[in-house]
């Protein structure tokens, strides 16, 4: 299933969420996604929580339902973006909002794990190819 099909199954309102993580990379054909991570508005977070999405232990502000995780905040260490601005500035691809690749690079840089460093390399290679 494509990232677009995965996200559209949720029937979430545009303007209240954006795809983050590997789903962004999947949308650009950089690498496949294994799960679907989303940032959502505080209002949508409450709606999802009240509709049965479960809190993730030891991860305050994260809800999970099946292969999906939503976060009401997308900050880590020195990466402290305006959450609502990330959603407002999302790039719509095939009817689904995704945070911009530049933001994903900033977030993955802050995380600094080996897998994030590899993802950053893949994104940068993709961006170089797009300029050719």
- Domains of the chain and CATH, by start: 3-131 (3.30.460.40)
pLDDT, block means (10 residues), the chain with 132 residues: 93 95 95 93 94 84 91 77 90 96 92 93 92 68
Per-residue tokens: 8 = 């559209």
- Triad 109, 106, 4: Cα angle to 5°: 110
**DSSP 3-state percent helix, strand, coil across the chain (nearest 5):** 40, 20, 35
Per-residue tokens: 24 = 């962004």
What pLDDT is attached to residue 108? 92
Compute the distance between CA of residue 26 and CA of residue 22 in angstroms, rounded to an integer.
Answer: 6
**For the CA atoms of 9, 34, 31, 83, what is the dihedral angle to 10 degrees?**
70
Compute the distance between CA of residue 97 and CA of residue 112 in angstroms, rounded to an integer.
Answer: 25
CA 58 to chain centre: 19
pTM here is 0.91
SS3 85: helix
SS3 40: strand
């Amino acid at each position: 299933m494509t990232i677009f099909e995965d996200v559209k199954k949720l029937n979430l309102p545009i303007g209240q969420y954006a795809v983050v993580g590997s789903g962004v990379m999947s949308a650009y054909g950089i690498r496949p996604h294994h799960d679907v991570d989303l940032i959502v508005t505080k209002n949508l977070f409450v709606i999802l929580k009240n509709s049965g999405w479960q809190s993730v232990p030891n991860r305050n502000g994260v809800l999970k339902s099946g292969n999906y995780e939503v976060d009401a905040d997308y900050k880590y260490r020195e990466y402290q973006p305006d959450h609502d601005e990330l959603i407002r500035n999302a790039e719509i691809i095939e009817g689904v909002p995704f945070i911009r690749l530049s933001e994903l690079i900033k977030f993955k840089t802050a995380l600094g794990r080996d897998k994030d460093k590899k993802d950053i390399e893949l994104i940068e290679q993709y961006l170089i190819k797009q300029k050719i």
